[in-house]
């Protein structure tokens, strides 16, 4: 028997295997703590249930299609877990997530992060059914639950009925709605001074980024309102963590402007107002609403902005202290934190993700 996860675990598993009286020609392969322990941990009272795969010694590699695999569970006492599991338990999630604008960019990565953190269900909602379907299938690679489920819902945030149908679908299909991430949005297009604002383009941006966000938050909060509050047991005891969580993908432009991006900046200021008011109005109902506010993020939206406004790349290098745009994962993991019990006292807040840009005055 070989075990690369640690001597204490190895001895413990050895004793358990002897107790089960497995035959000598069965051996165990435990790859590493990062590959096995973290993704497969399931929290249960006073212990962690870890799943291991056994295979016949005659096979040299653990390939499911070639090996006889026997799956079973061993409970490892909780006093072993701190040495091998680095995840903070309160950052786990375990419910039903709805991601609006999940076909690409931050929305897609937020869905992956939630699946990785333990979401039981992730629903990919997007106006582009093909990209949402591709993202939904890809999410299965990152999901940490063996019973993970995912589905796709085609919709447009500009359509009030479609937004309602989306939420109704999730509740009817999966019984509840625990986490919502609203990432649908459009950019400014070509940068122009405010005096030259194209009103038709302004109306389009406000209709999607502001009205669409309001429709989503309103409908999601109404569904969460009807749910039973959840609790979370931690080191300090048991606390109420509410009926549901909503995270809006806002922007650093919710707090500051960028020359030529008037319409987008106005829409993102409004998105922050929606976040604050919904968090305030529904805090007593156990519904938390927060926003992540990144600067530039490496997404298809940024690619389009750079195509139309090549000078933006120079601006990023000049004003960003670390000289680069954020990666989607640097934003999506923050979204998952806000959804988790670890953030149960955070409501109506903005998490600025900007490498300290907005705290710095730089001339360019």
What value does the mean pLDDT take over residues 196-224?
97
Question: Which residues participate in catalysis according to the annotation?
Answer: 264, 268
What value does the mean pLDDT take over residues 330-342?
96
Whether residue 1 is contained in a domain is answered as no
What value does the mean pLDDT take over residues 128-144?
97
Cα 187 to Cα 37, 132, 264, 309, 358, distances in angstroms = 41, 20, 6, 12, 20
- Say yes or no: 37 and 123 in one domain: no
Mean pLDDT over each residue of the chain, to the nearest integer: 81
Cα 253 to Cα 73, 110, 145, 206, 268, distances in angstroms = 49, 20, 36, 14, 6
Whether residue 196 is contained in a domain is answered as yes
Residue 53 phi/psi, 5° resolution?
Answer: -115, 130
The pLDDT, as a whole number, for residue 18 is 54
Residue 76 has pLDDT above 60, yes or no: no
Helices (H), 69-211: 105-117, 129-139, 160-174, 199-205
152-171: pLDDT as tens digits: 999 999 999 999 999 999 99
Highest mean pLDDT among 12-16, 34-38, 49-53, 73-77: 12-16
Q: Tokens representing 107? A: 């929305």
For residue 172, with 0-12 CB atoms within 10 Å meaning exposed, 13-18 middle and 19 or more buried, which class applies?
A: exposed
The pLDDT, as a whole number, for residue 62 is 36
Whether residue 15 is contained in a domain is answered as yes
What value does the mean pLDDT take over residues 109-120?
96
End-to-end CA distance of the chain: 62
Question: 231: which residues sit within 8 A by CB, 6+ positions away?
Answer: 238, 239, 240, 241
Q: What's the CATH code of the domain at 298?
A: 3.40.50.720
Whether residue 126 is contained in a domain is answered as yes
Q: Tokens representing 304? A: 């389009």
pLDDT-wise least confident of 75-84, 118-127, 265-274: 75-84
Q: Where residue 15 falls among pLDDT bands split at 50, 70, 90?
A: low
Whether residue 307 is contained in a domain is answered as yes
Report which of residues 170 and 299 the model is more confident about: 170
**Could you tell me the pTM of the whole model?**
0.76
> Quick check: 181 and 110 in contact, CB under 8 A?
yes
Whether residue 364 is contained in a domain is answered as no
- Tell me 53's DSSP state: E
Report which of residues 140 and 306 the model is more confident about: 140
- Tell me 67's DSSP state: S
- Say yes or no: 142 and 41 in one domain: no
- Say yes or no: 27 and 114 in one domain: no
- Per the structure, the count of domains in the chain is 2
| 75-105 as b/e: b if 16+ CB within 10 A | ebeeebbeebbebebbbbbebbbbbbbbbbb
CB atoms near residue 364 (< 10 Å): 7
| Domain housing 256 | 90-359
Q: Tokens representing 31? A: 């790859």
Q: Of 29, 57, 83, which marks where a domain is finished?
A: 83
Whether residue 2 is contained in a domain is answered as no
Q: Where residue 46 falls among pLDDT bands split at 50, 70, 90?
A: very low
pLDDT-wise least confident of 49-63, 154-168, 257-271, 312-326: 49-63
180-195: pLDDT as tens digits: 999 999 988 888 999 9
Whether residue 62 is contained in a domain is answered as yes
Distance CA 315, CA 337 (A): 30
Q: Where residue 361 falls among pLDDT bands split at 50, 70, 90?
A: low
Q: Of 83, 98, 124, which marks where a domain is finished?
A: 83
Q: Tokens representing 54? A: 């056994």
- Say yes or no: 40 and 98 in one domain: no
- Say yes or no: 27 and 174 in one domain: no
- Say yes or no: 133 and 52 in one domain: no
The pLDDT, as a whole number, for residue 22 is 44
- Say yes or no: 69 and 123 in one domain: no
Q: Where residue 36 falls among pLDDT bands split at 50, 70, 90?
A: very low
């Amino acid at each position: 028997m070989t075990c690369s996860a640690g001597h204490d675990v190895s001895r413990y598993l050895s004793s358990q295997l002897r107790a089960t009286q497995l035959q000598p020609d069965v051996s165990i392969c435990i790859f590493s703590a990062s590959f096995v322990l973290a993704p497969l941990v399931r929290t249960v009272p006073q212990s962690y249930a870890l799943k291991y795969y056994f295979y016949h010694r005659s096979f040299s590699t653990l390939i499911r299609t070639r090996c006889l695999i026997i799956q079973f569970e061993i409970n490892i006492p909780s006093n072993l877990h701190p040495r091998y599991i680095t995840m903070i338990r309160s950052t786990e999630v375990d419910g039903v997530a709805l991601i609006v604008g999940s076909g690409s960019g931050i929305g897609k990565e937020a869905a992956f992060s939630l699946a990785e953190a333990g979401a039981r269900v992730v629903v990919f909602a997007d106006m582009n059914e093909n990209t949402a379907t591709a993202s939904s299938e890809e999410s299965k690679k990152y999901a940490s639950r063996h019973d993970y489920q995912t589905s796709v819902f085609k919709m447009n945030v500009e359509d009030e009925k479609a937004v309602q149908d989306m939420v109704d679908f999730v509740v009817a299909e999966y019984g509840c709605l625990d986490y919502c991430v609203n990432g649908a949005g459009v950019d400014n297009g070509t940068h122009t001074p405010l005096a030259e604002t194209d009103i038709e383009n302004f109306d389009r941006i406000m209709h999607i980024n502001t009205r669409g966000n309001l429709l989503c938050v309103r409908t999601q909060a109404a569904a969460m309102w009807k749910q039973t509050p959840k609790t979370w047991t931690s080191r300090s005891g048991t606390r109420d963590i509410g009926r549901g969580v909503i995270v809006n993908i806002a922007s650093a432009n919710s707090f500051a402007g960028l020359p030529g991006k008037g319409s987008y900046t106005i829409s993102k200021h409004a998105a922050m107002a929606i976040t604050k008011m919904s968090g305030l109005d529904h805090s007593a109902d156990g519904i938390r609403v927060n926003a992540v506010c990144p600067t530039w993020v490496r997404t298809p939206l940024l690619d389009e902005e750079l195509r139309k406004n090549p000078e933006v790349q120079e601006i990023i290098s000049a004003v960003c202290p670390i000289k680069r745009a954020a990666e989607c994962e640097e934003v999506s993991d923050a979204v998952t934190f806000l959804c988790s019990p670890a953030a149960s006292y955070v409501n109506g807040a903005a998490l600025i993700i900007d490498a300290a840009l907005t705290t710095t005055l730089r001339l360019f």
